[in-house]
Chain A
Amino acid sequence: MAEIKVIKGTGQLTCLGLGSCIGLLAYDAESGVCGMAHIMLPEAFKDKPVDKPGKFADTGVPALLAEIEKAGGNIRRLTWVFTGGAQVFKYGAGTASKLDVGARNGEAVNAHLKKLGARILAQDIGGTSGRTMVANIETGEVRVRTVQGGEKTLCQLKRVRAEAA
């Protein structure tokens, strides 16, 4: 949780067990740079220092951009994918939580990407299932796995490159 990882050309990025958290993925097809942030909360606390910028949507998006740029990616070429933002407590009287962190995380990430004019390739948010997202940079496949619904392909990062070319 709260970490930002960037890889280039090869390997895979995994966000394990996203409940209310958001796994935010950005990919630059041309340089092959791919970054992922595991966002936990919608915004940083005003009165507290931010120790891990990847933890919050408002600090996580710019921090992810900076890391991608540092790795040689072009932030104007990025395509974005994000999943998570669920309410995993499905049963019980208190499930309509007043805090509803998952929904707020989803809204916050969406708002920050909109502000950037970001190209969102795919999103899979909300619901009551935790998700594990795995992005394979070699094949370009982004897969999402849930405990009750099994595994499915969310999108193809490479197809974007083919279309663009």
Chain B
Amino acid sequence: MAGQTYEFDLMQMSAIREMANIGLGHATTALANVTGKSFNMDIPNVETVCLEEVPMMMGDPSDVCVGISMPIEGDVEGYTAFLFPWKSAQELWGMLLGYSPESPEDVDDLPASAMLEVGNILSASFMNALSDMTGLKIHATPPMVSIDLAYTIAASIVAEAELSDAVALAIETRLFGMENQQTTGYFLCVPTLEGLNKLFAALGIQGAA
């Protein structure tokens, strides 16, 4: 509900954290496979915040980022997104394309489609892991890419999520490159309460009210 925060019990919170952990573990491995570099991730931070607070959680809100948004469809609906701060996005482009745009104005179709591909790979592996775990049909719709402030990107996703009633909790974590730890990315997942309860039911856990 608009502006509402939900209460989850310990069991539910650890189930969410575990799902995020496994899903993102697969996504991180997939990213390592396409870039040829190792990545690691922090333990996902699961917060039941009201959605207006989300844009302040994704690193520095006034940082220029490349944001990849991927709405979820199927048995579970909602939104997922990855945000890569500009320097990290440049490192990713370097790994994928062998060069990187120097400034946000220089991003044209090729670097943009490289990021769309990163989104496809990350979301497909994340959703597949969740599907395998729960037996539910969960799939990502085609990703969209934005180059803007972290705040702007997150706020635009949150507004859509709220409009589609996809409001339950925010799962946020940080990915980073193993070699120099400089490549960081933030992950956001905003499922609907209904979708989240389907995930709980599939795992044999009581749903949230």
Contact = CB atoms under 8 A, between A and B. Distances in A.
Interface of A: 1-2, 16-21, 40-41, 44-45, 48-52, 55, 86-95, 97, 99, 101-102, 128-130, 132, 147-148
Highest count of chain B CB atoms <10 Å: which of A50, A94, A147: A147
A99 B104 contact: no
Interface residues of B, number: 40
Contacts of B158: 1, 40
A99 B79 CA distance: 13
B144 A91 contact: yes
Contacts, number: 123
A16 B145 contact: no
Interface of B: 1-3, 52, 55, 61-62, 64, 67, 69, 71, 104-105, 109, 112-113, 115-116, 119, 141-153, 155-156, 158-160, 162-164
Given A17-B55, A101-B156, A45 B2 contact: yes
A17 B164 contact: no
Closest 6 CB pairs of A and B: A130-B152, A19-B156, A17-B151, A92-B144, A89-B144, A17-B152
B164 A99 contact: yes
A103 B91 CA distance: 34
A interface SS class: loop
Contacts of B113: 91
Contacts of A45: 2
Contacts of B64: 147
Highest count of chain A CB atoms <10 Å: which of B52, B55, B61, B155: B155
Given A17-B61, A101-B156, A147 B115 contact: no
Contacts of B143: 92, 94
B152 A88 contact: yes
